[in-house]
Chains A and B, each alone.
Chain A
C-alpha cells in the first residue's frame, strides 16, 4: 500500500514509519506544521511542533529512508482544535484537544488529502490496534494499557479507521524505545510530550486567561448562597477541591468541591463530595467506530478520561444522544469530556458529555 506517515519528531511516529516500511508499504513521511509561529526549541517535555521537532522528524525519515515533506496545517489546526478548545472552555466545558486533533486533522484533513493524492491511508505512532472483522476494520486498545490511546482515537468513523494504520499497538512502549535505538533513530531517548501541545508553558489557566480574559464571579453553594469569589470560571474543573479560597466553612468542616460551572452567569457552584456523584451521563454527537449502538441497553464499559479506568455500565441510544448508566456512582464528571464506550478492548464509539444525572 501507499501510506503517509505522520511524523511528529517523536520516537513513536518514527518507529511507526519504520515498521510500515518493513511491512512492505510504500511510505512517505509528513510532518504537520501546526503552528504558524513555531517555537525554536522544546521546553522540557511539553509542546511539539517546534523547529527542532520538524528537524527531528526529517532526520528520522532520513534514517528510515523515506521521502519527507512538511505540510502546513496551521490554519486547519487553529480553526478545528485551538478555537474549539477556547470556545469549549468559554462555554464552561472541559474539552480534550488531542481528540479534536485526531478527528479534524490527522484522520480528516491529512487522510483526505492523502487519499486524494492517491495514497491508501495514514500511519501514526498512536498506541492502538485495528482488526479486520466481517463488518470492516475495528478499533481496539493497545497491548500497553498504560500507553493506550484508543480513547483519543474514539472519534474516528468507520471510514477513517479504514485508512488508519497503527503499527505500534502490539508493543510495549519500553520496547519501542529499544527498537528505535536499534534502528539508529536519534529520537530513541527523546522525552514524550505531555500536556497540550499548543500551550507550551503547560500553564493552561494562564494561557486561557490571556485569551479569554477573566472576570471575577461568585462561588455559590447549592442553595445559591454566595460564599466566595472566583478568578475566572474556566480555570476551575469539576471535582476540584484545592485553590477555591473559600472563607465560609461548611457546618461539619468537610471540604467543598466544584460541582458545576455556569458560564452564562459566570458562576462556580460548590458542594459536598457526595454531591459530585453521578450515575448517568448523556453524550451528544455520537460517533461509531463500528456498527451503531442499539436502542436497547447493552452491557459494556465507559471511559471518561484519556488514561482513566473503564467503568462498567449499560449504554444505549436515546434519540440522538448516547446514554451510559454506571454500575457504581462516579465522583465528578465535566461536560465537554468524551465518553468512550468499550466492548472488551474494542472501541464501540464516543460522544461528548453534555449532561449528567445523579
Chain B
C-alpha cells in the first residue's frame, strides 16, 4: 500500500481541474489576439478570473496570473520594496518563518538593493509575536517599505494573525503582503476583509495544476515588473497567459476541500503518534491548517525517518534541503525555539483531499518500528 502524506508539497489535481485543463489544451488562440479564437481564449480566462475573485474575496482586476507562488511572492516583495524605496523607505519586515520564496528575495534585496531586512520573531507555537511588530513599528514605522507575513506556515500549519498585523500597519499606511499559498482553500481567506495590499496563491496546492500562481494586488496599485514584455497582466507580469492552467486553477478553486474530514484524519494521526511514540511531541498546537502534522521524534534524524518510511511506501517531508540535497534543520522550527538537534528530528505529514483512514492507520502501524530503527541508526 502506498501512502502519500505530503499534500502540502503538492497535491493531486482534482477531476474538474483535469477536465477543464484538458479541454483548454485543445483550444486554439492566444488570449491577447484580437480575432475570434483569441477572444474566445480571453473569455475563458476572464471567466476564471471572475470566479476566482469571488472565492478569494477580491475584485477581478486585482487578480494577476503568474507562473507560480514563488513568482507571486517575488513580484510582491520586490515590487513593494522598490516602490517604498522611492519614498526613502528601505526596511523590509518579514516573519522569521517565511517560505524561501519570501526569505530569499528578502535576502537578495538586502544584498543587492540596499534593503534592511528585519525578521519578526515567533512564539513557541510558531505564531508571529504581534507585540514585537508593534514595538518595531513604534520606533521605525516611517522607514518600513513593506511587511510580509505568511497567512499560514507550510511546515507547521500555524495560522498567523494577519488581521492584527494589517491593523497595526494601517496606522502607518504600510503595505502588507501575505503568502497565502498554504491557506488557500483550507481556511477562510478573504482579501478585502483582511485589508491586505497583496496576497500570493499557487495552483498546485489546491488540486490545480503546477506552474500557475496568482498575485492578488490591490486595485490601482502600480508595481515595478520583474518580467517585462507584452504587458499582459497590468504591465506587472508579462508573458502569454497560460489559459489551460488558469481555467484549471479556477475549476479547482471551485471545488471545496473536505476540511472536516481532513481535520478528523489529522486528529487520528496526532493521537496515534503520541500513543506510538510517547516522547514525541507535536509542533504548533494552536490554530492551524487542517492537514498538517509536524512532530518531533527525539533521538531520530528526519532523513533516516524519511528513508525508512519511504521503504514502507509512505511519503512524508523533512522540509527544505540545500542545493546539493543535504537536509537542513528547519529555520521555522529553529525560530520556534528548537535547537538544531530537535529540529533535525522533526518530520511533517500533510493530509489532503485524497487521504484515507487506511493510509493513516498504515502509518501508525509502521511508525513504532521505524522510530526504533531510526533511533538505533542515530550516531550523533
- Partner-B contacts on A (CB < 8 A): 28, 31, 33, 36, 38, 40, 50-51, 54, 58, 67, 69-72, 74-76, 109, 112-114, 116-118
Please classify the interface of chain B as helix (H, G, I), strand (E, B), loop, or mixed, using the class held by over half of its residues. Answer: helix
* A/B interface sample: 22 pairs, CB < 8 A: A31-B325, A33-B326, A38-B324, A38-B326, A50-B324, A51-B324, A54-B324, A54-B325, A58-B325, A67-B307, A70-B321, A71-B303, A72-B326, A74-B326, A76-B379, A109-B379, A112-B377, A113-B304, A116-B376, A117-B307, A117-B308, A117-B376
Q: Does B379 contact A112, Cβ atoms closer than 8 Å?
A: yes
B5 → chain A closest CB, angstroms = 17
Complex: A74 Cα to B303 Cα, angstroms: 14
Chain A residues contacting B306 (CB-CB under 8 Å) are 69
- Measured CB to CB, the nearest residue on chain B to A33 is B326
Q: Does A70 contact B374, Cβ atoms closer than 8 Å?
A: no
A75 → chain B closest CB, angstroms = 8
Q: B373 is contacted by which of A28, A33, A72, A117 (Cβ under 8 Å)?
A: A117
- Measured CB to CB, the nearest residue on chain B to A109 is B379
- Measured CB to CB, the nearest residue on chain B to A58 is B325
Complex: A284 Cα to B169 Cα, angstroms: 69
Q: Does A117 contact B374, Cβ atoms closer than 8 Å?
A: yes
Q: Does B324 contact A117, Cβ atoms closer than 8 Å?
A: no
Please classify the interface of chain A as helix (H, G, I), strand (E, B), loop, or mixed, using the class held by over half of its residues. Answer: mixed
A317 → chain B closest CB, angstroms = 31
Known: A33-B325, A58-B325, A70-B303. 8 other contacts (CB 8 A): A36-B326, A70-B321, A72-B326, A72-B327, A75-B380, A113-B377, A113-B379, A116-B373
Complex: A109 Cα to B377 Cα, angstroms: 9
Q: Does A118 contact B321, Cβ atoms closer than 8 Å?
A: no
A352 → chain B closest CB, angstroms = 24
Given that A28-B311, A33-B326 are known contacts, is A69 also in contact with B303, CB under 8 Å in the complex? yes
- Measured CB to CB, the nearest residue on chain B to A35 is B324
Given that A33-B326, A54-B325 are known contacts, is A72 also in contact with B303, CB under 8 Å in the complex? yes
Complex: A38 Cα to B311 Cα, angstroms: 28
Chain A residues contacting B376 (CB-CB under 8 Å) are 116-117
Chain B residues contacting A112 (CB-CB under 8 Å) are 377, 379
B135 sits at the interface (CB 8 A): no
Chain A residues contacting B374 (CB-CB under 8 Å) are 117
A7 → chain B closest CB, angstroms = 12
Q: In the complex, which residues 220-246 of chain B have their Cβ closer than 8 Å to any Cβ of chain A?
A: none
A246 → chain B closest CB, angstroms = 46
Complex: A69 Cα to B326 Cα, angstroms: 9
Given that A28-B307, A69-B303, A69-B307 are known contacts, is A117 also in contact with B377, CB under 8 Å in the complex? yes
- Measured CB to CB, the nearest residue on chain B to A2 is B311
1/0 contact string of B293-312 vs chain A (CB within 8 Å): 00000000001101110110
Complex: A116 Cα to B308 Cα, angstroms: 11
Chain A residues contacting B321 (CB-CB under 8 Å) are 70
B323 sits at the interface (CB 8 A): yes
Chain B residues contacting A69 (CB-CB under 8 Å) are 303, 306-307
B34 → chain A closest CB, angstroms = 45
A4 → chain B closest CB, angstroms = 10
Chain B residues contacting A118 (CB-CB under 8 Å) are 373
- Measured CB to CB, the nearest residue on chain B to A57 is B325
Complex: A50 Cα to B325 Cα, angstroms: 11
Q: Does B324 contact A70, Cβ atoms closer than 8 Å?
A: yes
Chain A residues contacting B327 (CB-CB under 8 Å) are 70, 72
Q: Does B304 contact A117, Cβ atoms closer than 8 Å?
A: yes
- Measured CB to CB, the nearest residue on chain B to A36 is B326
Chain A residues contacting B303 (CB-CB under 8 Å) are 69-72
Given that A28-B307, A28-B311, A109-B379 are known contacts, is A70 also in contact with B325, CB under 8 Å in the complex? yes
B213 → chain A closest CB, angstroms = 26
Q: In the complex, which residues 284-341 of chain B have their Cβ closer than 8 Å to any Cβ of chain A?
A: 303-304, 306-308, 310-311, 321, 323-327
- Measured CB to CB, the nearest residue on chain A to B376 is A116
Complex: A117 Cα to B380 Cα, angstroms: 15
A298 → chain B closest CB, angstroms = 37
1/0 contact string of B343-358 vs chain A (CB within 8 Å): 0000000000000000
Complex: A76 Cα to B376 Cα, angstroms: 17
Chain B residues contacting A31 (CB-CB under 8 Å) are 325
Complex: A67 Cα to B309 Cα, angstroms: 12
Complex: A114 Cα to B311 Cα, angstroms: 13
Complex: A28 Cα to B326 Cα, angstroms: 17
Given that A113-B377, A117-B374 are known contacts, is A51 also in contact with B307, CB under 8 Å in the complex? no
Chain B residues contacting A58 (CB-CB under 8 Å) are 325
A78 → chain B closest CB, angstroms = 13
The 10 tightest CB contacts between A and B, nearest first, are A116-B377, A116-B376, A70-B325, A33-B326, A113-B377, A38-B324, A51-B324, A117-B377, A72-B326, A54-B324
- Measured CB to CB, the nearest residue on chain B to A31 is B325
Complex: A69 Cα to B321 Cα, angstroms: 11
Complex: A54 Cα to B303 Cα, angstroms: 16
Complex: A31 Cα to B327 Cα, angstroms: 12
